[in-house]
Structure 1
Amino acid sequence: MELDVVALSRLQFALTALYHFLFVPLTIGLSILLAIMETVYVMTGRVIWRQMTKFWGVLFGINFAIGVSTGLVMEFQFGMNWSYYSHYVGDIFGAPLAIEGLMAFFLEATFVGLFFFGWDKLSKLGHLAATWAVALGSNFSALWILIANGWMQNPVGASFNPQTMRMEVNDFFAVLFNPVAQAKFVHTVSAGYVTASIFVLGVSAWYLLKGRHLELAKRSMTVAASFGLAASLSVVVLGDESGYLSTEHQKMKLASIEAMWKTEPAPAAFTAFGFPDQAARETHYAVHIPWVMGLIGTRSLTTEIPGIEDLVKRAEGRIRNGVEAYDALQTIRASAAPGAIPAEAQAAFEAGGHDLGYALLLKRYVDDPRQATDEQIAKAAADTIPHVPTLFWTFRIMVGLGIFFIALTATFFYLSARHRLDRYPLLLKLAVVAIPLPWIAAECGWIVAEVGRQPWIIEGVLPTAAAVSDLGAFTVLLTILGFTAIYTVLFIVEMGLMLHAIKKGPAPDPEPQAELAPYALAPAE
């Protein structure tokens, strides 16, 4: 069987990204929960809150260390496996990654040491400041990564330079305040907060079932249920915003999520269930909920959401327009000097340059897009359809789990308010079983985001197939096997360390005598 370098490179990045994202949400969410718990400790002076912060901090530290080690490899892949991508958009994509390292990662990595080793060396307020710095660093790290990823989904603030054959920044603030990036950031960090909340909730429920560390478990569940409920609700709201933005910037992704093959009269129905058939371009046994998709996608009752078949026709027109721009680009590049560029070629490129990426879709079928046949253009247009069944089902799994998290955290929030957390063993067991579910939802979210963008590595600008390095397929396959083996070992190590720390439980943490005195010397009534 012939090995495809593009498919193997995509598989390698997907595996490393999905492995890395096993650790990211918990790091983001636990860092905020630690800061909240220590804030309560500083405000109340109660020893139990310091003990809680230290205990959950141990689990945070294990996860943080493994997350850093798996994340480093991903950035190297841009140069190793995606060298033309790095050359083509390095001016834009490299800046957020550099800022993430300088501003966020160094902040987080510096203060994490103070968090673990500064308990008896810093004042209460000094240590609390270090904890909040770790939390802010974790979230800022996600911000800059998602600014880079959001630009790939909606490439704003940059333009193609025909002289350098690269994309170049012309408005950094447009890149920074890209609405897609901002929506992805708040949606992703909220998912991280949900992940940490369900994790804390489940571990604490296990302690209640075992009759261990009851005071710590109940307080931890109260914090996790409250924070988790707010985060779960925000995920739904912010997910709605992402859907609305997709209507404007990624119409094919939205239509594929809905398996909407044909354009429906406004307002479009939401397909709650069905079996998409990409070959036949229809959805079998579809169950529709009227109006819902129109309201989510357009926030109106009169705006249409284009279907997949109409979008393919539009793509075909953009490919033909892009071929004209490609022809003009070759004329421009053949000119001896900028002043010698024919006015007609310059005007043609300015008119159709925004569709140049669509012409590059033809590179899969012909070396020179100008020589493409009508059949090849039709095939390239059909390639703009991502894998619909994958998007359809992963999106619905994600949404279904999101609704479950709202119900779960709301239930425990109510039980916490009524001081009945330990009264319902079945609910406690459900909380324990639910621990891995946020990771499933988060991974589904990334699959929707990244598979939905295909065949583009940069939406409408650069096809994924044109972005890979000139590597041998066997070389890429070996690195896939190597990374998978290493990451699997790291995952097993992390799980072993986390389970050991949970089984061991919190260590006794007596306060300095000066802080104990007001409670120890209180007269008995």
Structure 2
Amino acid sequence: MELDIVSLSRLQFAATALYHFLFVPLTLGLSIIIAIMETVYVMTGRVIWRDMTKFWGTLFGINFAMGVATGVVMEFQFGMNWSYYSHYVGDIFGAPLAIEGLMAFFLEATFVGLFFFGWDKLSKVGHLAATWAVAIGSNFSALWILIANGWMQNPVGSAFNPQTMRMEVTDFAAVLTNPVAQAKFVHTVSAGYVCASVFVLGVSAWYVLKGRHLALAKRSMTVAASFGLAAALSVAVLGDESGYLSTEHQKMKLAAIEGMWETQPAPAAFTLVGFPSQEARETHYAIHIPALMGLIGTRSLDTVIPGINELVVHAEARIRQGIKAYDALQKIRALPAGEKLPDNLRGEFEDNGHELGYALLLKRYVDDPRQATPEQIAKAAWDTVPQVAPLFWLFRVMVGIGMLLILLTGTFFVLSARRMLDRYQWLLKVAVWAIPLPWLAIEAGWLVAEFGRQPWVIEGVLPTAVAVSNLGVKTLLLTLTGFVALYTVLLVIEVKLMLKAIRTGPTAEHDPDEGVEQRHVRPFNPSKLASAK
């Protein structure tokens, strides 16, 4: 990668986002799991479920604090590194972020204090309500963030205003109900539920292997296996929905994920493995599963999925149409202030304005897209193809790990139903070693979603290359190094705190063997017995 402003700005945002996303999934999932555990405590009155809520709540608190610390920086980057992006789409993109801060984050942050410090001050039901408020707030935060991100993937409910040079909201309800955003939300939170479930399952398996806190560990494994299996299955189903929506809104991303250079007759085959070559523009040694991609991508047997080469031809035509929109835009901007916009000029822009973003792809090669040569137009058309090989393999890593986690949670669900959780030592060790797998799958999925959108920061509207701030390379290198160093320190702190809390274990308020609550009894004093006599 060249050390230019665009690539360094992308690298910095990717680094901070990847670090931040290490904390978010566990927060989403643990918030629901501890709410489930406390619900059981309130319903049954058994103190062991309160012990479980407090213990896993401690780990949630550590992770929550780190997630907040790393998340604040990301929003500031829009103004620091992506100022033209903020100017261009701030009217739309800023609204979900503002609502997230005012509604979801404040809800979450307010009640998280009651969760930790309200055990002896609130009633059982009151504290349970605070716990569920934390869980709902956490998930609402994800909802609004993913509404904003989903709009970047599928910019509905908006239009470009040639007089203000900004994207403006035309239908806020369409932004909220964006099908891409809704699919991303349920897919992302389900992945977070799997992440937390595997974490709880693995830590509990470690306790069972060590012979510690067995009652708490086995009950935690039962909750994690049940919740995790349901979540893992939903991730697979909702991932299929995301693939189907990509066929409608992000055809190039889907073709790149499949390494499909040529359009195939319907229904298209799924490429199980292969070695895509960007230079040769083909996928070597590919092994196909007939018709599967057609069923996944179109849910039909007769709908064609276009290949990369065909989509590049379409992109070239859209660039040429976008040049017409750019020409009309420059004429509009040249009008004297206050002069009425001529109908013919308005009509020309309205007819071609939806392809203006494709003309901006030429800014990489020429200052005025109207002066672009046929060779430059052809290069810009090929720029719409993301790096195929990383997308191809990252997607398969994500799916492969997802299948393994379905198998893992399903196995422990069966063992839990048969009361055989401690029967197989090797399976318990597998659960411990499987703890990092959800994070690997989630990070791979994030890279597929975001890297696959390139060269667009907003699909079909604003190329990444023209969205950055006018910063120096040295400034970006300095801030990138600083963020990576700081986030690495925070990650090390989190891991150490987590490990310390896990090694210390829960503070039990009951006898785990007898299942009865411990009573605080004063030590026996023989002198008092003598004086009593």
Q: TM-score range by the shorter chain?
A: over 0.9
SS of the residue 1:272 aligns to: strand
SS of the residue 2:63 aligns to: helix
Please say if residues 47 and 517 of structure 2, whose CA atoms lie closer than 8 Å, have aligned partners that are also in contact.
no
Within 5 Å, give how 1:85-96 maps onto structure 2. 85-96=85-96
Please say if residues 362 and 376 of structure 2, whose CA atoms lie closer than 8 Å, have aligned partners that are also in contact.
yes
SS of the residue 2:61 aligns to: helix
Correspondence for 2:70? 70
Correspondence for 2:8? 8
Q: Does 1:266 align with 2:266?
A: yes
Report the AA paired with residue 253 of structure 2.
K
- How far apart are residue 296 of structure 1 and its match? 0.4
- How far apart are residue 508 of structure 1 and its match? 2.4
Correspondence for 1:301? 301
Partners of 1:208 and 1:331 in 2: CA distance? 73
Report the AA paired with residue 253 of structure 1.
K
SS of the residue 1:288 aligns to: strand
Correspondence for 2:131? 131
Within 5 Å, give how 1:25-174 maps onto structure 2. 25-174=25-174
- How far apart are residue 518 of structure 1 and its match? 13
Partners of 1:260 and 1:345 in 2: CA distance? 40
Q: Deviations over 1:432-461 (max 9, x none)?
A: 000000000000010000001000000000
Q: Deviations over 1:137-182 (max 9, x none)?
A: 0000000000000000000000000000000001000000000000
Correspondence for 1:400? 400
- How far apart are residue 347 of structure 1 and its match? 1.2
Q: Deviations over 1:400-427 (max 9, x none)?
A: 0110011000000000000000010000
Within 5 Å, give how 1:501-520 maps onto structure 2. 501-509=501-509
Partners of 2:281 and 2:517 in 1: CA distance? 74
Correspondence for 2:18? 18
Partners of 1:4 and 1:108 in 2: CA distance? 39
Report the AA paired with residue 144 of structure 2.
W
Partners of 2:340 and 2:98 in 1: CA distance? 38
Q: Does 1:286 align with 2:286?
A: yes
Partners of 1:105 and 1:67 in 2: CA distance? 12
Report the AA paired with residue 465 of structure 2.
A
Report the AA paired with residue 389 of structure 1.
A
Report the AA paired with residue 6 of structure 1.
V
- How far apart are residue 201 of structure 1 and its match? 0.2
Q: Does 1:462 align with 2:462?
A: yes
Partners of 1:517 and 1:467 in 2: CA distance? 61
Partners of 2:465 and 2:325 in 1: CA distance? 20
Correspondence for 2:359? 359
Correspondence for 1:523? none
Coordinate RMSD, CA, aligned: 1.6
Q: Deviations over 1:263-283 (max 9, x none)?
A: 000000000000100110111
Q: Does 1:416 align with 2:416?
A: yes
Report the AA paired with residue 34 of structure 1.
I
Alpha-carbon spacing, 1:338–1:240, altered in 2? closer, same or farther (3 Å):
farther
Correspondence for 1:436? 436
Q: Does 1:447 align with 2:417?
A: no
Partners of 2:258 and 2:339 in 1: CA distance? 50
Q: Deviations over 1:188-209 (max 9, x none)?
A: 0000000000000000000000
Q: Does 1:490 align with 2:475?
A: no
Correspondence for 1:317? 317
- How far apart are residue 319 of structure 1 and its match? 0.2
Partners of 2:210 and 2:458 in 1: CA distance? 51
- How far apart are residue 510 of structure 1 and its match? 5.5
Report the AA paired with residue 423 of structure 1.
R
- How far apart are residue 254 of structure 1 and its match? 0.3
Report the AA paired with residue 178 of structure 1.
N
Partners of 1:2 and 1:435 in 2: CA distance? 35
SS of the residue 2:457 aligns to: strand
* TM-score, with length taken from structure 1: 0.97
Partners of 2:247 and 2:19 in 1: CA distance? 30
Report the AA paired with residue 29 of structure 2.
G
Structure 1, unmatched stretches of 5+, are: 521-525
Partners of 1:39 and 1:400 in 2: CA distance? 34
Report the AA paired with residue 106 of structure 1.
F
Correspondence for 1:334? 334
Partners of 1:2 and 1:218 in 2: CA distance? 52
- How far apart are residue 338 of structure 1 and its match? 5.9
Report the AA paired with residue 222 of structure 1.
T
SS of the residue 2:206 aligns to: helix
SS of the residue 2:286 aligns to: strand
SS of the residue 2:255 aligns to: helix
- How far apart are residue 337 of structure 1 and its match? 4.5
Report the AA paired with residue 345 of structure 1.
L
Report the AA paired with residue 355 of structure 1.
E
Partners of 1:55 and 1:383 in 2: CA distance? 51
SS of the residue 2:468 aligns to: coil
SS of the residue 2:167 aligns to: strand
- How far apart are residue 344 of structure 1 and its match? 2.4
Partners of 1:3 and 1:119 in 2: CA distance? 53
Partners of 1:232 and 1:185 in 2: CA distance? 15
Partners of 1:199 and 1:286 in 2: CA distance? 35
Report the AA paired with residue 361 of structure 2.
L
Partners of 2:300 and 2:270 in 1: CA distance? 14
Report the AA paired with residue 18 of structure 2.
L
SS of the residue 1:340 aligns to: coil
Partners of 1:303 and 1:323 in 2: CA distance? 31
* Paired residue total: 517
SS of the residue 2:122 aligns to: coil
Partners of 2:88 and 2:67 in 1: CA distance? 29
Task: Give % identity.
Answer: 78
Report the AA paired with residue 124 of structure 2.
K
- How far apart are residue 373 of structure 1 and its match? 0.1
Partners of 2:495 and 2:364 in 1: CA distance? 43
SS of the residue 1:285 aligns to: strand
Report the AA paired with residue 262 of structure 1.
E
- How far apart are residue 341 of structure 1 and its match? 2.5
Q: Does 1:426 align with 2:426?
A: yes
Partners of 1:280 and 1:508 in 2: CA distance? 63
Partners of 1:388 and 1:216 in 2: CA distance? 47
Partners of 1:519 and 1:232 in 2: CA distance? 41
Report the AA paired with residue 413 of structure 2.
F
SS of the residue 1:261 aligns to: coil
- How far apart are residue 127 of structure 1 and its match? 0.2
Q: Deviations over 1:350-392 (max 9, x none)?
A: 1000000000000000000000000000000000000101110
Structure 2, unmatched stretches of 5+, are: 521-533
Correspondence for 2:526? none
- How far apart are residue 340 of structure 1 and its match? 3.3
Task: State the 4+ residue runs in structure 1 displaced beyond 3 angstroms.
Answer: 337-340, 516-520
Partners of 1:60 and 1:328 in 2: CA distance? 55
